[in-house]
């Protein structure tokens, strides 16, 4: 197919969010944009189980403050598998910077989530990040 869509590097996403409405909205939005949602979970324990069992995850989208612990624990587990993490949080701890590909501050418009994922994907593919990134997004990766 000459003019088909380019295959995404990031296709399958794990959503770790304990705010039920935000989790639902994020899952629905990502599915509508062509992403597969591996799972949507609201605890560190469930996220760690999914990470241990699912070999097909391309990105972990995680809140930092969760009911049973910290998304930082999830990020460490993801990093151990070589998976990028995008933190989506209202308060980002600076010590987590080395664990994440980036951070998107809550609240955010859904288009900013797409831009953040696209920027992470571009850098993972060795390209430069887009010049115009949302003000609520910090990209921590740099091209190899």
pLDDT tens for 90-115 read 888 888 888 999 999 999 999 999 99
pLDDT tens for 28-54 read 999 999 999 999 999 999 999 999 997
pLDDT at 130: 81
Mean pLDDT of the chain: 90
Q: How confident is the model at residue 128 (pLDDT cuts 50, 70, 90)?
A: confident
Give me the sheet containing 85-89, strands edge to edge: 36-41, 12-16, 59-62, 85-89, 102-105, 137-139
Between 66 and 142, whose confidence is greater? Answer: 66
What is the sign, positive or negative, of the torsion defined by CA atoms of 80, 101, 15, 18? Answer: positive
pLDDT at 144: 52
Is pTM beyond 0.85 here? yes
Residue-number span of the structural domain to which 93 is assigned: 12-139
How many domains does the structure of the chain reveal?
1
**Pairwise CA distance, residues 11 & 112, whole Å:** 17
pLDDT tens for 63-91 read 999 989 999 999 999 999 999 999 999 88
Does 2 fall in a domain? no
Does 6 fall in a domain? no
Does 64 fall in a domain? yes
pLDDT at 3: 54
Any idea what the CATH number is for the domain that residue 16 is in?
Answer: 3.40.50.2300
Does 119 fall in a domain? yes
Between 6 and 123, whose confidence is greater? Answer: 123
Does 144 fall in a domain? no
Does 4 fall in a domain? no
Does 59 fall in a domain? yes
The three-state secondary structure class of 84 is coil
Does 71 fall in a domain? yes
């Amino acid at each position: 197919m000459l003019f088909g869509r380019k295959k995404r590097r990031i296709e399958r996403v794990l959503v770790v969010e304990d705010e039920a409405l935000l989790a639902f909205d994020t899952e629905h939005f990502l599915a509508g944009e062509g992403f597969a949602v591996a799972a949507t979970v609201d605890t560190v324990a469930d996220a760690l189980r999914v990470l241990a069992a699912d070999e097909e995850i391309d990105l972990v989208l995680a809140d930092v403050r969760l009911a049973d612990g910290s998304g930082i624990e999830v990020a460490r587990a993801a990093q151990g598998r070589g998976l990028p993490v995008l933190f989506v949080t209202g308060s980002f701890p600076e010590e987590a910077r080395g664990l994440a590909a980036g951070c998107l501050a809550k609240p955010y418009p859904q288009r900013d989530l797409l831009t953040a994922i696209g920027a992470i994907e571009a850098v993972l593919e060795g390209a430069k990040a887009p010049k115009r990134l949302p003000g609520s997004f910090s990209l921590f990766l740099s091209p190899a």
